[in-house]
Structure 1
């Protein structure tokens, strides 16, 4: 399923074919989650059945106690009354014990399902390609892991138990009523007609509203998360008022749809109460006449009234279950959509090992276009010998970053082959690929933890001395030593404790520690000031010896360390040569260099 397909599931106006596909996908996911728990499910079902039967037996025992126990007591025979009392007590104890059993079992089943599902979502989204994450917003991913999983948790924790127990209770109550007094059972049967009509009315109207409620809730979460994530841009561009209006509209939409849901319950619950009370009244009236003429015992009438009333008791709970069911069903549809998504850059079926890469990179007849976009690289050929440092120069949108992403295999070409040491990247073992090629981007993302932990990401088993040497190589050691706790300093969320330039230096040290055969720097010096950039360039000169490197930079000072410069325009190489050759020429790079030199004056 494509990313656009997953995004489309935020709609609630599916075609019939789409609805069938989504429901089938959700059922398969639920089946796979419950399959390992079949034993506990059967045990829980048995506990529910026996518990419901024990609870339902109460009115029948009362009828026996009244109609048989009381006359026997008049005759000084206390055995029937004692038996009825003891039986009622035992069924109550058994019912209570089994309720405790199935609550515990259902809780274990619920937690097992949620842990499995939460883990699947996390691991799967981690494996999905960059294309998915660039299209599927972070707010929606968070919504899948939070509100959607919470909806499923609420259903699993209480809803399913409520449903099974309620249905079993109603079935056993109806059977007991028919066995006790079939004429009273007919009254209940007649009452099922308006009950079925009312329930169907509620089901049809609530289904669409519950789905809209889930969509509105997800939009609220997305808006909130994206606003908080981009709070700097929000405040820098004074977007607070616009966000207030947008969030207000989303809140109003969420309130309106929930008000309509409550409106349904305002009709359903009173209607349910009226049907139940009418059935009880008719049972009592008709039974009363039969008691008078002696064809029905008082105890049986009391039991029939109790059975009729108790039959309708779970209905409100079942309506609430349906509310939770619709929310959980909608959530499961969205989660199953994410889990159905396949990586656009799949792992090879038969991976080829490359233990010691030399670093030769080749593009052979490569074409590339992003999904539903224009062609970025039209029929592209390039040979980068092992150990060569090349600089990619060109205007924004020329295809430089795309070229880097193809080398790192964040994307696969639409046509042609990108290879490392003669092996297509799509055939290379993922571990060998990630070990051989490392990319440092402008973002310089740091994870919560110490500076040392962030550097060691490039080599998890690195010693502290190796971490320090990597930092020294890129000129980061001095500022790290100046931090409150040196290498043990916590960088805080997303590296908020260090400056943008310092984050970039730490990311350099991380990449250098990884010791790749091919190093890609995508605008990686953009956050550095001139002195820091010179320090890094010194480290780069040492590190890039005998290593293939691809440097994308708008700062032409960074280009000076390259062996070869490629000038790109519209996905094509328009100039190719050493920095000195191109500077001495009259082409595009010479003009760029002259303009850059004049800007320094």
Structure 2
């Protein structure tokens, strides 16, 4: 399935073929989750069947005690009454014990399934390519891990056992009613006709409403998460009122769809109760006439009435199960869609090792397009010798970042091949690729934890001395020492305790510690002020020494440290030369440099 296919999961209308495909996909996922748990599932099923049988035996024992025990008791024979009483107590105890057993077993099955599913979603979304994460919003991913998994948890914790137990209970109750009194069984059979019509009506109308409810819930979560994640932009652009209106519309939609669901229950539950009470009344009236003419015992009539009433007892629970089932089914559809998403940048089938990369990068007849009608990089060739520092310059949208992402293998080219030391990146072992090529982006993301932990991300087994040396090399040591706890200072969520420029210095230290053969800096100095940038220039000189480097920057002061400048326009390299050569010429870079120099006057 493509990313657009996953995004389509938020739709509410599907063709029959699409619905069948989605259901089949969900069943495959559920089967793979339950397959390792077959022994526990069988044991739970046995416990449910036996507990239902023990519970259903009660009315028959009461009938025996009344019709056989009371006459015998009048003859001073205590055995039938004692047998009925003791048997009733024992079946009650057995039923209680078995109910406790299957509740424990079903809880273990539920937790095992949820742990497996939650882990699969987390690990799989990590493996998916950048294309997926740029198209699938973080709020929707969070919705998969929270509300969707919660819906499945609720179904697994109570719903499935409720369904199986209810079905077994109804089957055993119906069978016992026929055994005890066949005519009363016919009354129950006749009541199944209106019950089936009512249930089908409820099922058809509720299915689309439950899906709408899940979609509305997901939209609420997405809106909330994205508002909180971008709270700085919200407050900076005074977007609170607009968010209030948008969130209000989503809440209203969620309320309306849930009100319609409750409206269905307002018809279904009373209708079901009416059918059940009618069946009980008919059984009682017809049985009463038979008791009067002596063809039916009072105990049997009582048992028949009890069985008829008990037959309908699980129906309300099963209606609630259907509510949970529809929510969980919709959630499972969305999760299965994410799990079937294939990485657009897959790991090689037969990876090639590259223990010590030199950093020679080559583009051989490379073309890249997001879609057929959206070509970003037309076919071109490029060679970057090992140890050379190149700067990519050009207007926004010229293709600089795309070229850098191809080197980092965040994307694969649509055609052609990108190689490192004459090995295609698509064939290179992932661990060697990530060790050899490191990209520092403009965002400079920091994870929760200490400054030292964030620097050590480039080399998890690094010693504290190595971390300090890396920070000193890029000019970050002084400000880190000035933090409340130095290198042990917690940077808080997303690095909120340090400034944007300081975050970038930490990311430079991280890259220095990783010691890659190829380093890509994508607008990585854009958040630095002039003093900080001058400080980092010295660190960059050390950072870029003896390694291949690709620098994307609008600041021409950063470009000056490059050995070679590539000017890009519309995905093509229009100028290629050293900074001095291009400045001396009359091309695009010379004009950019002149404009930059004039701005400093």
Q: Normalised by the shorter chain, which TM-score bucket?
A: over 0.9
CA deviation digits over 1:91-112, x for unaligned, max 9? 0000000000000000000000
Give the Cα separation in 1 of the matches to 2:512 and 2:522.
15
- Which whole-Å CA distance do the structure 2 matches of 1:281 and 1:74 have between them? 31
CA distance in 2, matches of 1:182, 1:372: 70
Q: How far did 1:415 drift?
A: 0.5
Name whichever of 578-587 and 42-51 sits farther off.
578-587
Indicate how the Cα distance of structure 1 residues 205 and 372 shifts in structure 2: closer, same or farther if over 3 A, else same: farther
* SS class of match (1:308): helix
- Supply the distance in 2 between the matched residues of 1:97 and 1:555 (Cα, whole angstroms): 75
Show CA shifts across 1:372-392 (max 9, x none). 651111011110000000000
Q: Offset at 1:444?
A: 0.2
Write out per-residue CA displacement over residues 209-264 of structure 1, whole angstroms, 9 at most, x where no aligned residue: 10111111111111111111111111111111111111111111111111111110
Q: What's the CA shift for 1:592?
A: 0.3
How far does the alpha carbon of each residue in 1:87-138 deviate from its partner, in whole angstroms, 9 at most, with x for none? 0000000000000000000000000000000000000000000000000000
Deviation larger for 242-251 or 333-342: 242-251
- Partner residue in 1 for 2:542: 542
Q: Please give the alpha-carbon distance, in whole angstroms, between the structure 2 residues aligned to 1:544 and 1:147.
A: 46
1:411-459 Cα shifts (integer Å, max 9, x gaps) = 0000011100101100111000000000000000000000000000000
Unaligned segments of structure 1, at least 5 residues:
none
For residues 119-176 of structure 1, the C-alpha deviation after alignment (integer angstroms, 9 at most, x for no partner) is: 0000000000000000000000000000000000000001011101100000000000
**Once structures 1 and 2 are overlaid, which stretch shifts more, 491-500 or 540-549?**
540-549
What CA deviation, in whole Å up to 9, does each residue of 1:485-533 have, x standing for no partner? 1000000000000000000000000011000000000000001111111
Deviations 1:174-210 (CA, angstroms, capped at 9, x unpaired):
0000000001000000000000000000001000110
| Distance (Å, rounded) in 1 between the aligned partners of 2:571 and 2:266 | 62
Q: CA deviation at 1:600?
A: 1.3
Tell me the distance in 2 between the aligned counterparts of 1:376 and 1:166: 59
Aligned residue number for residue 272 of structure 1: 272
SS at match of 1:426: coil
TM-score after normalising by structure 1: 0.99
Count how many residue pairs are aligned between Structure 1 and Structure 2.
601
SS at match of 2:520: strand
Per-residue CA deviation, residues 445-490 of structure 1 (Å, 9 max, x unaligned), is: 0000000000000000000100000000000000000101100000
Partners of 1:109 and 1:515 in 2: how far apart? 46
The residue that corresponds to 1:149 in the other structure is 149
> Which residue of structure 1 lines up, in the alignment, with residue 54 of structure 2?
54
For residues 390-410 of structure 1, the C-alpha deviation after alignment (integer angstroms, 9 at most, x for no partner) is 000110011100010000000
Report the CA distance between 1:371 and its aligned residue: 3.5
Tell me how far apart the structure 1 counterparts of residues 182 and 473 of structure 2 sit (CA, whole Å): 91
By how many angstroms is 1:543 displaced? 2.4
Q: Distance in 1 between the 2:108 and 2:99 partners?
A: 14
Q: Distance in 2 between matches of 1:28 and 1:133?
A: 25
Q: How does 1:348-387 map to 2 (within 5 A)?
A: 348-371=348-371, 374-387=374-387
* CA RMSD across the alignment: 0.6
Deviations 1:547-582 (A, max 9, x none): 100000000000111000111111111111111111
Return closer, same or farther for 1:462/1:259 CA change in 2, 3 Å cut-off.
Answer: same
Q: Relative to structure 2, which stretch is displaced further, 116-125 or 376-385?
A: 376-385
How far did residue 599 of structure 1 move?
1.0
Deviation at 1:545, TM superposition (A): 1.6
Cα distance change of structure 1 residues 372 and 93 upon mapping to structure 2, 3 Å threshold: farther
Q: Aligned pair in 2 of structure 1 residues 422, 462: CA closer, same or farther (>3 Å)? A: same
Q: Counterpart of 1:393 in 2: which secondary structure? A: strand
Distance, in Å, in 2 between the alignment partners of 1:380 and 1:90 is 83
Report the more deviating stretch, 73-82 or 120-129: 73-82
With the length of structure 2 as denominator, give the TM-score of the two structures.
0.99
2:322 & 2:416 partners in 1: Cα distance? Answer: 53
Q: How far apart, CA to CA, are the structure 2 residues paired with 1:396 and 1:328?
A: 45
Higher mean alpha-carbon deviation, 224-233 vs 55-64, is at 224-233
CA distance in 2 between partners of 1:359 and 1:584 (Å): 29
Deviation at 1:586, TM superposition (A): 1.1
In 1, the alpha carbon distance for the partners of 2:25 and 2:372 equals: 26
Deviates more, 1:531-540 or 1:196-205: 531-540
**Residue 496 to residue 525, structure 1, CA distance change in 2 (3 Å):** same
Which residue does the alignment assign to 1:465? 465
